Amino acid sequence: MNADVCAVVLAAGEGRRLRPLTEHLPKALCPVGNVALLDRALARVRALGFDRPHSVAVNACYLGHLVVEHVGDRAHLSVEPGDPLGTAGGLGLLRDWIGGRGVLVGNADAYLASDEEPGADIAALLDGWDGHEARLLGVPGPPDEFGTHRFAGFSLLPWDLVAALEPEPSDLVRLAWRPAERQGRLRVVEYPGSYVDTGTPADYLQANLHAAGGGSLVAPDAEVVGALDRAVVGSGAVVAGSVTRGVVWPGGVVAAGEALADGIRVGRGLTVAAH
């Protein structure tokens, strides 16, 4: 790890497009492959050496108490007052903590998977960094957001771009990435695997099924007596019916005679269709 770089995992968002799932959990804590999205992001930066509260921070806002409780002492916590400040405003609130360092910024809701180990798969963002260039992880488009690539969840920002950010609602696209692009100092680093923005129920289901590796993934303490076909079943869940291309959240129930297909089950009665 470069001592002049810190990491920030952004976990403050509400996840409106994932409602009603995010009425129960903030998007950052929604499980993918039975692992909270936030934990996936923290594991990725931890593998690069960002593993203490002085080197990694997490911001929180919507249902922030759940994020704070989940993170504990694993990272510095920045709780935003009122509504979420957005990607740029969240970093602006963390300026004093960042304190002159470059920042590896990760979106908690980005699902990444490759043949490389987590951390190693994004290490190219840091390799040979000069402290001046802005870097952005990308996958081939469409949409072609940056050249022929679209953003894939992580970026690396030099301090001068972060120093200009204020703790007010705004986004990194407008205040950091596009200005760096105009200055000729934005480089897209291609991600060597699969990326899913888990913003919609359909994409969230896609990420879960990818994490299951084409089969089914069942938590050790789940009870399954029914039929599974490409399913993810969480801790303490009970499946007596059938699940086809579906996700059963921890503690969820699919009763005998029920057939869950192309959807997400929360508790006993909430089913979110993933179309």
Report the length, in residues, of the chain.
Answer: 275
Q: Is 72 left (phi over 0), alpha (psi -120 to 50) or beta?
A: left
**pLDDT tens for residues 43-61?**
999 999 999 999 999 999 9
Q: What angle do CA 206, 62, 122 make, to 5 degrees?
A: 50
Q: Which residues contact 182 (CB under 8 A, 6 or more apart)?
A: none
Q: Is the peptide bond before 143 cis (omega within 30 degrees of 0)?
A: yes
Q: Is the pLDDT of residue 1 over 60?
A: no
List, for residues 114-152, the tens digit of each pLDDT value: 999 999 999 999 999 999 999 999 999 888 899 999 999
User: Which stretches does DSSP call E strand in 52-185?
Assistant: 56-60, 76-79, 102-107, 110-113, 134-140, 149-157
| pLDDT at residue 15 tops 90 | no
Tell me how far apart the alpha carbons of residues 144 and 147 are, in angstroms, rounded to a whole number: 6
Residue 2 scores a pLDDT above 80: no
For residue 143, what are the CA distances in angstroms to 26, 69, 138, 151, 189?
26, 36, 11, 9, 16
pLDDT at 42: 98
Q: What is the pTM of this model?
A: 0.94
